[in-house]
Structure 1
Amino acid sequence: MDRRSFITVTGLSLLTSVTLAACSKPQPKFNGIDLTGADYGADFKLHGSDGREHALSDFKGKYVMLFFGFTQCPDVCPTALARAVEIRKLLGADGGKVQVLFVTIDPERDTPELLAQYMQAFDPSFLGLNGTAEQTAKVAADFKVFYKKVPSGSSYTMDHTAITYVFDAENRLRLALRHEQSAEQCAQDLRSLIQTA
């Protein structure tokens, strides 16, 4: 290869690299755990607190915040749902693009009617989901969520993972928001996802 050809080829390679770099979308930096490309969190179907069956894929086009909990939870679950309310407010007009789903890990006690009342106490657009014990175990396992019954006096409580999963509008698992993250940090992460779509 002569010198002129070498310079031309090298120049074209460099130009192509710069052009591709300029055209690719910048990857956002998240406060939460970046799960982009994760190979878990499969689609599922559960009964909704609105009386209808729902699949995760039904919410394509929305940014889904998915939390596993139970209505008799004394602290973690109400805190997570109150934070979700605040996140939607902080997002302003984009808050309407966010759908909150609450999967009960206590289907024995959390009926659709009880879930409907519980969701209503936070935001009427939030949707509670329940299934059989077997369905619940499968969905939780698909999302690597731990939970177990813990005896408490004459009744029981539940120990469980306190993570909120976030799916983008293409129904891809993107983030895990830690329980200790502030609403502001979470809203910043959601805003980054929305803006880079």
Structure 2
Amino acid sequence: MVVTTAMEDDGRSRRLRMAIAVLGILASVLIPATAWVLFRPGGPLVAQSQPAVDIGGPFTLVTHKGDTLSDQDLTGQPYAVFFGFTHCPEICPTTLWEMSEALKQLGPDAERLRVLFISVDSMRDTPEFLDNYLQSFDPRIVGLTGSEEEIAAVGKGYRAYWEKVPTEDGDYTMNHTASIYLMDGRGQFVGTIAYGEQQTVRMEKLRKLLAGASI
């Protein structure tokens, strides 16, 4: 028969409490804070849901045709948002060309997708200038502009970044976020298309967006 003393019991209790504390710390590190999880007895750790990322929001801007467009006009229709400017040397024309090709590949389904090009250079990108610039791309792409304050508010909602960078000739260029934001028909952010992403991946994401599937 094994006889335990009160001191031994106390030592075991302390070790048990320490073990539980260590496991708690590991769980807080290894389990993402953005996920809710379900522990099933004898089973694996199962992810239950992901809280929505707060990206997007209301806006009302002027199109390259001189009309107004708001987020309410897009209700029920998925859309893609890209922030850029017409004097962009590479990223913007490449992205707009790729999205033009994507719209062609989507065929009839492309009519259910809105592609928005929001200018971060409202000083130079008037509706007329945007209209001329976008003639080189798919006519279904909508250019949007507004005052600096209006564009800044939209950019804040999308967590987009840009800054004016002076050039040696006295002009300026713009550094800016190069990703495309994908929004569902409820105006909820569902993912991005990165600059330079493979065509097959880009098309898969757009088809999932149109189908209402997770990206």
Band of TM-score, shorter chain: 0.7 to 0.9
Q: Does structure 1 retain, via aligned residues, the 8 Å contact 2:77–2:113?
A: yes
Query: Which residue number corresponds to residue 86 of structure 1?
Result: 101
- Aligned AA (2:75): K
Residues 85-104 of structure 1: matches in 2 within 5 Å?
A: 85-104=100-119
What's the offset of the Cα at 1:36? 7.4
**The one of 178, 182, 190 aligned to 1:174:** 190
Q: Does structure 2 retain, via aligned residues, the 8 Å contact 1:46–1:130?
A: yes
Query: Which residue number corresponds to residue 48 of structure 1?
Result: 63
**The one of 154, 168, 182 aligned to 2:170:** 154
Residues 101-140 of structure 1: matches in 2 within 5 Å?
A: 101-140=116-155
In 1, distance between residues paired with 2:189 and 2:88?
26
Bigger radius of gyration, 1 or 2?
Answer: 2
- Aligned AA (1:61): G
Q: Does structure 1 retain, via aligned residues, the 8 Å contact 2:84–2:118?
A: yes
Q: Does structure 2 retain, via aligned residues, the 8 Å contact 1:88–1:187?
A: no
State the TM-score, normalizing by the size of structure 1. Answer: 0.78
In 2, distance between residues paired with 1:110 and 1:86?
24
State the TM-score, normalizing by the size of structure 2. Answer: 0.71
- Aligned AA (1:191): R
2:203 is aligned with 1:190: no
What's the offset of the Cα at 1:192? 1.7
What's the offset of the Cα at 1:129? 0.6
In 2, distance between residues paired with 1:63 and 1:100?
9
In 2, distance between residues paired with 1:180 and 1:121?
20
SS of equivalent to 1:190: helix
Aligned residues: 164
In 1, distance between residues paired with 2:210 and 2:68?
27
In 1, distance between residues paired with 2:123 and 2:149?
11
Q: Does structure 1 retain, via aligned residues, the 8 Å contact 2:88–2:173?
A: yes
CA pair 128-196 structure 1, distance change in 2 beyond 3 A: closer
- Aligned AA (1:137): A
Q: 5+ residue gaps in structure 1? A: 1-26, 28-34
In 2, distance between residues paired with 1:190 and 1:149?
31
SS of equivalent to 2:89: coil
Query: Which residue number corresponds to residue 52 of structure 2?
Result: 37
Q: 5+ residue gaps in structure 2? A: 1-48
Query: Which residue number corresponds to residue 73 of structure 1?
Result: 88
What's the offset of the Cα at 1:120? 2.0
CA pair 158-168 structure 1, distance change in 2 beyond 3 A: same
- Aligned AA (2:192): A
* Residues 81-136 of structure 1 deviation map (CA, whole Å, 9 limit, x = unaligned): 01101111222221221111111000000000011111221011211111111111
Relative contact order, higher structure (CA 8 A, sep 6+): 1
SS of equivalent to 1:71: coil
